[in-house]
Amino acid sequence: MNQSSFPVFLACLPGLEPVVVHEAQALGLPAPVAVPGGVETTGTWPDIWRANLWLRSASRVLVRLGAFRALHLAQLDKRARKFPWADVLRPDLPVRIDVTCTRSRIYHQKAAAQRIATAITETLGAPVTADAELRLMIRIDDDMVTISLDTSGDGLHKRGHKLATGKAPLRETMAAAFLHQMGFDGTQPVIDPMCGSGTFVVEAADRAAGLPPGRTRTFAFENLSSFDAPAWARLRAHSAKSPPLQFFGFDRDQGAIQNARDNAARAGLTACTAFACQPISALTRPDSPPGLIMVNPPYGARIGNPAKLFGLYATLGQVLREHFKGWRLGLVTSDRKLAHATGLTLQPGPPIPHGGLKVQLFQSGPL
């Protein structure tokens, strides 16, 4: 079973598909192709486990288990009962079923879900519940029933070691993608002058240390009948690097700084990260080669009054011009006018959905 290859979909936020393609190629996944909302590839079960463990910018890993045609509910019931559920699902663990119907003669989603649930329960014995960790996704499109499984469980942005968050936290997957877009390869110093709970700093240090981002969490695939615990233990084994102390976070909120330190400690990154409570105006250049300044400032729509933020962005731009020659800025905001308030020449990236908004990464060249 572990050597069978399946179609795999690496879901991600729209706009991050090129980053996930690059990460999939680096993992050795075959012929990854970007499509809207994700990347298509193939893989064996160990490949799927590895993708969950190592992908930094994908949201979740979905595997296509099979497909068949059904023109009506009776046919759906008959073919669902013949589907090899036992190859993947366990009879002792519940499963959740999500069904969507488009352009098909079977158009009643609840009725279709009920037929599939009954087929699983009566042929395999597994209960079907609305809150199960294992999630089957059934898409009935043009009378073709495609059965996929979410192998991740919780979204991959939930690394497992970031327990404390701020008011408007940036998802770890987004931070990793923005670092990638800035050309971060693990060797450059990284500073976040408004670090909140430390997402940019921890993600950068994590990459520099060569640690798998999913090392401290569990995944839905661990509950499958196809799961091989000894093989998974071997796959998770890794040797970490010891990067220098060159990942710095600052914030004027002492509570945020403590949260960032705690998150870095849980990730095992205390030795290469440092956090301090100070305003942007106190930011000074560290004794290191030029690197990246990554910042996700407030942008008014979620935190603060936009009219009062122009001074904050202007101060940021002034401090960087005065003290950070040769460094490059990556600034995340939903407001182009605020980005321009820095007075720096910035190039916007593609819009990325975030908390009901569209944010962009604005990049500078060397300052």
CA proximity to 201, closest of 166, 226, 172: 172
Q: Does the pLDDT value for residue 167 go beyond 90? A: no
**Contact between residue 208 and residue 241 where contact means Cβ atoms under 8 Å apart:** yes
- From the number of C-beta atoms within 10 Å of its C-beta (0-12, 13-18, 19+), residue 194 rates as buried
What pLDDT sits at residue 11?
Answer: 98
Q: Does the pLDDT value for residue 302 go beyond 70? A: no
> Poorest-confidence range of 3-17, 50-64, 296-310?
296-310
Rounded average pLDDT over 312-331: 97
Under DSSP, is residue 336 helix (H, G, I), strand (E, B) or coil? Answer: helix
What does CATH list as the number for 172-218+240-363? 3.40.50.150
Q: Does the pLDDT value for residue 3 go beyond 70? A: no
Long-range contact set of residues 361-365: C-beta below 8 Å, sequence gap at least 24: 361/178, 361/181, 361/182, 361/330, 361/331, 361/332, 362/329, 362/330, 362/331, 362/332, 362/333, 363/181, 363/182, 363/328, 363/329, 363/330, 363/331, 364/328, 364/329, 364/330, 364/331, 365/328
What pLDDT sits at residue 300?
Answer: 64
Average pLDDT, the chain: 94
User: Hey, what CATH topology would domain 6-150 get?
Assistant: VC0802-like (3.30.2130)
Residue 163's pLDDT band, with cuts at 50, 70 and 90, is: confident
DSSP string, 137-175: EEEEETTEEEEEEESSSS-TT--SS-----SSPPPHHHH
Residue 221 tokens, joined: 């695939």
What pLDDT sits at residue 162?
Answer: 78
- How do the domains of the chain map onto residue ranges? 6-150, 172-218+240-363
Rounded average pLDDT over 204-213: 97
What pLDDT sits at residue 1?
Answer: 44
What pLDDT sits at residue 4?
Answer: 86
What pLDDT sits at residue 239?
Answer: 84
What pLDDT sits at residue 2?
Answer: 53
Q: Does the pLDDT value for residue 151 go beyond 50? A: yes
Q: Does the pLDDT value for residue 201 go beyond 50? A: yes
Q: Give pLDDT tens digits for 220-260.
A: 999 999 899 999 999 999 888 999 999 999 999 999 999 99
Rounded average pLDDT over 102-116: 95
Q: Does the pLDDT value for residue 23 go beyond 50? A: yes
* Percentage of residues of the chain with pLDDT beyond 90: 90
Q: How far is CA 363 from the centre of its chain?
A: 21
Q: pTM of the prediction?
A: 0.94
